[in-house]
């Protein structure tokens, strides 16, 4: 195998190892959600809270206010 | 904060930490691809090789043979 | 081209035509959002309203109530 | 409902109608694949052929040649 082959293989193997680790973390996340669900928590609402906690507080407040304005404007509330 | 709040918070914080680690690995993978691209490798073809290496060899051979049969049947080759 | 080839080609061509029509609709949707954005509406909030309108009203109300309970439990409100 | 509300509602209803049509086409595509599968065709390979037919022929040939070069370089063939 020439230099190029070795270099290509090393890139590929590095990526494969990282992808394996990433998959293991994805499985861990699934497990924690399953554990939380098992103790009665609602996974869909938990995911929503996690998304909200990533958002900037002001940005979130503005969005919520605009949502209410739109909902009122089209008669949803 | 009651027991439920503490338990919910701990699940959420565990998931957030795992998601952060997972995002860091995704960034690492992007970096390795960028490094490989920088030395002249084609990222799209590298991704295809990584997908192929995950496949069972016989399954892959069968699929390739079937692909050729279909391509011939509709005049692509 | 044998019967199989003709039958395969007809399935493929039917799917390709349907996918073209589907892509055209996706482009139309993008255009309507762009038009709405052009007149000052917030696309992200519009998408949220469209998702909410698909949900069963009671289910949505329950989810919102649970969200508030969780947010209070972990001190977000 | 003010002018804004009416305008917002009309954008939302136009998008909802387009999304319904798009979903109907997605269901039609699924049906054609199911029909093809029922007569013995392999859906995964059909999808691959449809992707290939979208690609520019020269681009596809170059990609295939590069794939073989990489596979040889790392001892896959």
In SS3 terms, chain D reads as CCHHHHHHHHHHHHHHHHHHHHHHHHHHHHHHHHHHHHCCCCHHHHHHHHHHHHCCHHHHHHHHHHHHHHHHHCCCC
Using the beta-carbon criterion (under 8 Å), do D44 and B63 form an inter-chain contact? yes
Choose among B4, B70, B73: nearest Cβ to C2: B73
A13 inside 8 A of chain B by CB? no
- C65, C53: one domain: yes
pTM: 0.88
CB pairs under 8 A between A and B: 66
Cross-chain CB nearest to C36 (options D11, D26, D36): D11
Which residues have C-beta within 8 Å of that of residue D77, sequence separation ≥ 6? D68, D71
Name the domain count of chain D. Answer: 2
Residue A61 has pLDDT above 70, yes or no: yes
Query: Residue for token digits 């691209």?
Result: B37
Same domain, D57 and D70: yes
Under the banding of pLDDT at 50, 70 and 90, the label for residue B1 is low
- Give the Cα separation of A63 and D73 in Å (integer): 53
Mean pLDDT, residues B9-16:
98
Q: What is the mean pLDDT of residues D36-58?
A: 97
CA distance D73 to chain A (A): 4
Residues A47, A34 share a domain: no
Q: Give the separation between CA B13 and CA B8, rounded to whole angstroms.
A: 9
DSSP string, C19-73: HHHHHHHHHHHHHHHHHHHHTT--HHHHHHHHHHHHS-HHHHHHHHHHHHHHHHH
- Contact between B75 and C1 using a beta-carbon 8 Å cutoff: yes
Question: Domain range for residue C14?
Answer: 1-41
Contact B74, C4 (CB under 8 A): no
The beta-strand segments (E) located in chain A are: none
Helix C3-38 × helix B57-73 angle, to 10°: 100
Judged against a pLDDT cut of 70, whether residue C1 lies above it is answered with no
Tokens at residue C70, please? 């969780």
C71 touches B at CB < 8 Å: no
This complex has an ipTM of: 0.87
Q: Which residues of C touch D12 (CB under 8 A)?
A: 46, 49-50, 53
Asked if B26 and B56 sit in the same domain, the reply is: no
Residues A24 and A47 in one domain: no
Residues C48 and C65 in one domain: yes
Spatial separation of the C-alpha atoms in residues B8 and B12, rounded to whole Å: 6
Which residue has better confidence, B56 or A3?
Answer: B56
- Region of residue D15 (left: phi > 0; alpha: psi -120 to 50; beta: else): alpha
| Shared-domain flag, residues A48 and A77 | yes
Q: Are residues A37 and A57 in the same domain?
A: no
SS3 A39: coil
C51, C32, C40, C54: which is closest to D3 by C-alpha? C40
- Cβ atoms of B17 and A51 closer than 8 Å: no
The answer, for A40 touching chain D at a CB cutoff of 8 Å, is no
D13 contact C CB<8A: no
pLDDT tens digits, one per residue of C41-57? 999 999 999 999 999 99
pLDDT exceeds cutoff 80 at D1:
no
Same domain, D52 and D66: yes
Same domain, residue pair D26 and D50:
no
Predicted local distance difference test score (pLDDT) of residue B55? 95
DSSP letter for A55, please: S
- Reduced to 3 states, what is the DSSP secondary structure of residue B3? helix
Q: Which of C8, A46, A52, D61 is nearest to D69 (CA)?
A: D61
CB atoms C26 and D29 under 8 Å: no
CA distance D68 to D58: 15
Residues D46, D36 within the same domain: no
Same domain for B71 and B47: yes
Mean pLDDT of C22-27: 98
Closest residue to A73, CB basis, from D2, D73, D75:
D2
- Which residues in chain D have Cβ-Cβ distances shorter than 8 Å to C33? 11, 15
């Amino acid at each position: 195998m020439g230099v190029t082959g070795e270099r290509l293989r090393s890139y590929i193997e590095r990526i494969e190892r990282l992808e394996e680790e990433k998959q293991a973390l994805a499985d861990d996340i699934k497990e924690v959600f399953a554990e939380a669900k098992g103790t009665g928590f609602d996974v869909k609402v938990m995911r929503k809270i996690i998304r909200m906690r990533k958002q900037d507080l002001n940005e979130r407040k503005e969005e919520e206010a605009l949502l209410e304005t739109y909902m009122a404007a089209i008669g949803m509330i």
